[in-house]
């Protein structure tokens, strides 16, 4: 289990994930708890999405306080390859800038040594 979380700081919003009904008229996504709707992060092509790691309640801590356990981010899934739209600035590895060039589904992996792994899913329109 990761010792950090990742939040979307800007560039995308949470929307209900609504699937079109099937031929029988029922939703195509199973939901065992209908009172809790499925959600997803949605952004726009060409708009920068900023992700921030949270460690022990501190949002985007500086590298100098991470004890050498810096963050690394990479594209797990992208609709077009190669995808080089991820940027991390030295000294601020806990802040990740993502610039999606085309519409589609993106998964960004974020990890730190001995700290686990988080995936962030983004749907870009």
> Can you give the residue ranges of every domain in the chain?
1-17+34-54+66-81+98-125
Residues 43-65, mean pLDDT to the nearest whole number: 97
Say what the alpha-carbon torsion angle 45, 109, 90, 100 is, to the nearest 10 degrees.
-10
| Cα-trace Rg, the chain | 16
Mean residue pLDDT across the chain: 91
DSSP 3: S
Q: How confident is the model at residue 60 (pLDDT cuts 50, 70, 90)?
A: very high
Question: How far is the CA of 14 from the CAs of 38, 43, 98, in angstroms?
Answer: 10, 9, 17
Q: What is the pLDDT of residue 28?
A: 64
pLDDT at 1 over 90: no
d(CA 17, CA 60): 28
Residues 8-28, mean pLDDT to the nearest whole number: 81
Q: Does this model's pTM top 0.75?
A: yes
Report the alpha-carbon angle 1-54-34, nearest 5. Answer: 65
Residues 3-32, mean pLDDT to the nearest whole number: 82
User: Residue written as tokens 């040594």?
Assistant: 113
Structure tokens at 110: 């974020």
On whether the CB atoms of residues 51 and 29 are closer than 8 A, the answer is no
Contacts of 45 (CB under 8 A, 6+ apart): 100, 101, 102, 103, 124, 125
Residues 102-116, mean pLDDT to the nearest whole number: 96
């Amino acid at each position: 289990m990761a010792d950090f979380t990742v939040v979307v700081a800007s560039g995308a919003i949470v929307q209900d994930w609504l699937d079109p009904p099937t031929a029988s008229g029922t939703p195509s996504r199973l939901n065992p708890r209908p009172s809790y709707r499925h959600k997803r992060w949605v952004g726009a092509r060409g708009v920068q999405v900023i992700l921030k790691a949270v460690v022990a309640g501190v949002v985007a801590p500086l590298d100098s306080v991470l004890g050498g356990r810096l963050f690394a981010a990479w594209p797990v899934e992208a609709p077009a390859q190669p995808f080089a739209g991820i940027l991390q600035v030295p000294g601020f590895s806990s802040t990740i800038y993502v610039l999606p060039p085309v519409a589609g589904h993106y998964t960004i992996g974020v990890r730190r040594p001995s700290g686990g792994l988080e995936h962030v899913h983004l749907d870009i329109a």
